[in-house]
A and B are shown apart, each in its own frame.
Chain A
Amino acid sequence: MEERDFVVIGAGPAGLRAALTAARMGVDVIVIGEDPHHGGQIFRSLTPPLQTQGHIMELQDHKILDDLQSDLNEVDIHFLNKTIVWGIFDDNVIAFDKSNKSLIKAKKILIAEGAYEGPVAFPGWTLPGVMTLGGIQILLKSQGIIPTGKIIIAGTGPLLFYTASQLIEKGADVKAVLEASSLNQWMRWTMHLLRAPGILGKGIKYLNILRKHHVPVYYSTVPLEAKGSDGLKEVVIAQVDKQWHPMPGTKREMAADLLCLNFGFIPSTQFSHMAGCEHTCDPQIRGWLPKVNSNYETSVEGIHVAGDCTGICGVKKAVLEGELVGNEVARYLGRISGAEADRRLSVLQKKIHCLSWYQHFLRKIYSFRPGLLDLLTDETIICRCEEVNFGMISHLFENNSCSLEEIKLFSRTGMGRCQGRFCYPSLLGIFSKVLSENKVCSQDFTSRIPAKPLPLETLFDLSAHDKSK
């Protein structure tokens, strides 16, 4: 088996910065990423050979990307693109789907697997035409296509306004933006942003674009139901109270071809769970966070984490965390003196500390409100892959007081192709409500190999490869 000094999983901002930092100090680095490009979901750009003059649109924080790209030109890093990591085993062994060499043992591993959009289940959310806001962004940024039909954007947080204004400027027909939080709530949040005038300024700019194009923003409003037979035709919307409970008598219908949703993000912890790292449950974000020490090392020796998978923190903090881990890896491998590493560590820790307010701010905005559970009917699908509905799950919860792991075993929830990524957060929300608001879940789904569905050939190749050794 091949042995390497430092393996980075994830080629987003945190992973790239960690790799660059370590490589500059002479560490032998390999970066494994699933996409053909570098930069992660946030810095998606047109997939070559598709091209355009300049950027397809104004990228947020593009300076960070420009810096990463110019640094990448100077340093020699081994990249494995379009490569799926499907397992992490004992002794820091990583398995991935390349047939010629598919196992690596690493002295140090950085898991920088980012985050994904938190699912909110409601009747009709599985209909074609209902998609994540990130999904529509990817079509725009990496494929250069825009919807021609009527679009409704719903959820909570700044990404709604950002994406709506991007779509409008490209000529798309956005009918409405539904923001679940109230306008008063937004006024209070905006006060926090006085310390980041840049972000505030952008927010005002996006709102102005919406106003100029007469796109209404409905605050305290959520989608209740998506309707249609072979695709979305109509969205039922309603006003909600502070905890996002729908208010009686406020329902109305809007015609729509696309419903794009974002109710916040869930840190991806598939690999840190698989590696056996300790985690704590954060019911507010309906997810888990790996426990780390001040060097962002997990409870498993040699495995670090950085970026959004440690808690949704934004790109600026992600690159600093990556740099910190790169520095610690160089120290561990003796490529930098202890004194120099300490000096860098303390500078980085201070910078990270200065940004922690933004992480708290995002956590507040994206906190799950129990009112959304009122949208569930017995027929509402919770687990998209195995088609398990809320009726079945609530029956198991109520009659057998099942744990989450038992729910999985009895109902197959979370056993499908997405490996629980799009049902687990809903389940955790239901679980906290059924038990009590304060009781914290102590056990996550067990994360098993393969982390993503894999052709059987990959495993056959692997066994042939091992025998030949």
Chain B
Amino acid sequence: MFKRLETVERGTPFTIQVDGESATAYHGETLATVLLAMGKIAMGKTFQKHALRGYYCGMGICHECLVELDDGTKVRACQTLAEPWMKIRTDS
């Protein structure tokens, strides 16, 4: 779905857990980037109708890309930088 440009230096990769799967991430990347690069375009579901939603405005105002961290908090994938300890879910 998305690929990382080779002209960008990304340092050492690390992994985060996405829906129980390992995903490659680099420091400086947002969760949205990690998800899009692994082919996940849907990032969560709506409260009422459980419709799939994904990255939309990219600047932190639409809140459509909310993903769930393992402590239950929801964060905007487009505004949150990936960290090695992260376990996220996109199916809630």
A455 to B72, CA, bound (A): 12
Decide: A49 and B2 in contact? CB cutoff 8 A: no
A418 to B63, CA, bound (A): 6
A422 to B8, CA, bound (A): 33
Could you mark each residue 383-397 of chain A with 1 if its beta carbon is under 8 Å from any beta carbon of chain B, else 0? Answer: 011110000000000
Which of chain A's residues 372-389 have a Cβ closer than 8 Å to chain B? 384-387
Question: Interface size for chain B: under 10, 10 to 19, 20 to 34, or 35 or more residues?
Answer: 35 or more
A137 to B1, CA, bound (A): 16
Decide: B46 and A387 in contact? CB cutoff 8 A: yes
Most buried by B among A53, A56, A127: A127
Decide yes or no whether A175 CB sits under 8 A from chain B: no
Residues of A within 8 A of B60 (CB): 34, 452
Which of chain B's residues 20-71 have a Cβ closer than 8 Å to chain A? 26-30, 32-33, 36-37, 41-43, 46-49, 51-64, 66
A116 to B57, CA, bound (A): 8
How far does the Cβ of B55 sit from chain A's closest Cβ, in whole Å?
Answer: 6
Decide: B8 and A50 in contact? CB cutoff 8 A: yes
Which of chain A's residues 265-281 have a Cβ closer than 8 Å to chain B? none
A257 to B42, CA, bound (A): 12
Residues of B within 8 A of A50 (CB): 8-10, 26-29
B interface SS class: loop
Most buried by B among A51, A117, A145, A384: A145
A178 to B59, CA, bound (A): 24
A146-B2 CB under 8 A given contacts A139-B36, A384-B62: yes
Decide: A128 and B30 in contact? CB cutoff 8 A: no
Residues of B within 8 A of A149 (CB): 1
Decide: A143 and B33 in contact? CB cutoff 8 A: yes
A interface SS class: loop
Most buried by A among B36, B43, B55, B57: B57
Q: Which of B4, B53, B61 is A145 in contact with, Cβ under 8 Å?
A: B4
- Binding-face segment, A40-48, A283-291, A321-329: A40-48
Q: Which of A47, A135, A452 is B57 in contact with, Cβ under 8 Å?
A: A135
Decide: A116 and B59 in contact? CB cutoff 8 A: yes
A138 to B78, CA, bound (A): 9
Decide: A131 and B58 in contact? CB cutoff 8 A: yes
Most buried by A among B28, B30, B60: B28
A149 to B55, CA, bound (A): 16
Decide: A145 and B62 in contact? CB cutoff 8 A: no
Across the A-B interface, the 8 shortest Cβ-Cβ residue pairs: A128-B54, A135-B58, A144-B8, A417-B63, A50-B28, A128-B42, A138-B58, A128-B41
Q: A56-B5, A130-B56, A144-B7 are in contact. List 12 more A-B contacts (CB 8 A).
A: A49-B11, A50-B10, A50-B29, A117-B57, A129-B41, A134-B58, A145-B3, A146-B3, A384-B56, A385-B63, A387-B47, A417-B62
A-B contact pairs, 27 of them (CB 8 A): A34-B79, A47-B28, A47-B81, A50-B10, A52-B7, A117-B57, A126-B51, A126-B53, A127-B54, A128-B42, A128-B52, A131-B54, A134-B59, A135-B59, A136-B58, A139-B2, A139-B32, A139-B36, A143-B32, A149-B1, A384-B56, A384-B64, A416-B63, A418-B61, A418-B62, A452-B61, A455-B73
Binding site for A on B (CB under 8 A): 1-5, 7-11, 26-30, 32-33, 36-37, 41-43, 46-49, 51-64, 66, 73, 78-79, 81
